[in-house]
Amino acid sequence: MYKNKTPIIIGSDHAAYPLKEKVKKYIIEKGIDVKDIGAFSEDSVDYTDYGIKVASSVSTGEFERGILLCGTGLGMSMVANRFNHVRAALCNDLFSAIMSRQHNNSNILVMGGRLIGDGLAFEIVTAWLETPFEGGRHQSRIEKFDTISG
Ligand code: RB5
In the predicted structure, residue 146 carries a pLDDT above the cut 90: no
Pocket test for ligand 1, best of 52, 76, 78, 111 (most atoms within 8 A of CB): 76
Residue nearest to atom 6 of ligand 1 (CA): 71
In the predicted structure, residue 24 carries a pLDDT above the cut 60: yes
Predicted pLDDT of residue 4: 67
Q: Which residues have CB under 8 Å from 110's CB, separation 6+?
A: 67, 68, 69, 70, 73, 76, 77, 80, 88, 89, 90, 91
pTM, entire model: 0.97
Fold classification of 8-145 is Ribose 5-phosphate Isomerase B; Chain: A, (3.40.1400)
Q: In angstroms, rounded to a whole number, what is the distance separating the alpha carbons of residues 116 and 54?
A: 21
Residue 146: Cβ-neighbour burial (10 angstroms; 0-12, 13-18, 19+):
exposed
